[in-house]
Amino acid sequence: MNFVNTGEPLLKRSDNQSNLYLLSFKLPLCWLHSLTPVTELSMLPGIRSLAVAMHLEIYWVY
C-alpha cells in the first residue's frame, strides 16, 4: 500500500536549501521465526513460534 504526498513540503528549510518532501511509504511484512526456551517444567521443550513484523519504509524526495 502506497500513500503519496499531495505536494506540500513536509519540512521547511531555510531559503538557500530545498524543501523536503515525503514521497511515499510502504509497509512490507517480514516473517520472524523464533525458538522459545523452556521456562516451566510443564512446557514442551523447543516450542516453535512464528510472528509477522511490519517494517515502515519511508522514501524522501529533495
Type of residue at 18: S
Residue 1 has pLDDT above 50, yes or no: no
* Three cell numbers, residue 2: 502506497
Q: What is the mean pLDDT of residues 32-56?
A: 56
Are 20 and 5 within 8 A, CB to CB? no
Distance from C-alpha of 36 to C-alpha of 32, rounded to nearest angstrom: 13
**What's the mean pLDDT in 20-46?**
55
| pTM, to two decimals | 0.20
Q: How many domains does the chain have?
A: 1
Write the DSSP symbol of residue 20.
Answer: B
Provide the pLDDT for residue 4.
47
Please state, rounded to an integer, the average pLDDT across all residues of the chain: 53
How open is the CA angle 61-14-24, to the nearest 5 degrees? 20
Q: Which domain holds residue 58?
A: 1-62
